[in-house]
Amino acid sequence: MEFLGYFGALAMGALLGLIGGGGSILTVPILAYFFSIDATLATAYSLFVVGLTAIVGAASYWRNKQLDVKTAIVFSIPSFLAVYATRRYVMPLIPEQVFAVGDFVLTKNALVMVVFALLMMGAAISMIRPQKNAMAQPEGEPKFNYPLILVEGAAVGALTGFVGAGGGFLIIPALVVLARLPIKLAVGTSLLIIAAKSLIGFIGDVQNYKDQIDWAFLSLFSIVAVFGILLGSWASRFVSGDKLKPAFGWFVLTMGAFVIVKETMWK
């Protein structure tokens, strides 16, 4: 099973490199199901892996001048605060048994996985649906809608903190609509935001779970994922990400449904 888990890490990174997003949505299920890691700790590991792989991707966009640092800072401040507060203070407050109705018991781990599965399904739908031309805003100086950016940044940060995913499928539309960034610039900027807030969220986990983190395993898993994103970035020159994205979306949608069934009915 561990061999399949490392293969999954490689595939996750490769997909991220090929289509610019979505691959990291598989990190938590890979850690939870192939390595039997507690769901809460798996979200912590995922923050580190997602942050590290996003840095590699952001560096590529930076070299191509497709990354807006100013926009990243404006969006990131509320997101940083939300993701750190969620990991450091909110997650430890959730009881191991959230509630029980008759014979059904919803545990903390199951709640995390169900919310994550819903996020997977939302990401899948965004990949399956054809892109609209309205998303392609004209080049120019970003015009910030500060109140909406504040709310969006905080919401994405809290969601990232809870499930340990990058949230790129939420950030990119927000940057295009609220900051009027061209789509390619929004993708590069999103990777920088994801990298920073994921790693900041992981700092909260280090403080809470420092005795539980297996640094040797986390390092090896991360190296495999980074190798995958480099492989995917190279392969993107020969394979169209636009053709792969819908097929991967259907796969993620199926996986999300499977996780919900497993955590709520398959006992």
Q: For residue range 13-46, what is the model confidence (pLDDT) as tens digits?
A: 887 777 666 666 788 889 988 999 988 888 889 8
State residue 63's pLDDT score: 85
Task: Identify the domain containing residue 217 by its residue range.
Answer: 2-264
Higher pLDDT, 170 or 4: 4
CA distances from 151 to 74, 81, 173, 177 (A): 12, 12, 14, 14
Q: For residue range 220-253, what is the model confidence (pLDDT) as tens digits?
A: 999 999 898 888 778 777 776 667 778 777 877 8
Question: What is the model's pTM?
Answer: 0.74
Q: Which of 49-53, 81-85, 144-148, 214-218 has the highest mean pLDDT?
A: 214-218
- The domain total for the chain is 1
Q: How does residue 207 score in pLDDT terms, banded at 50, 70 and 90?
A: confident
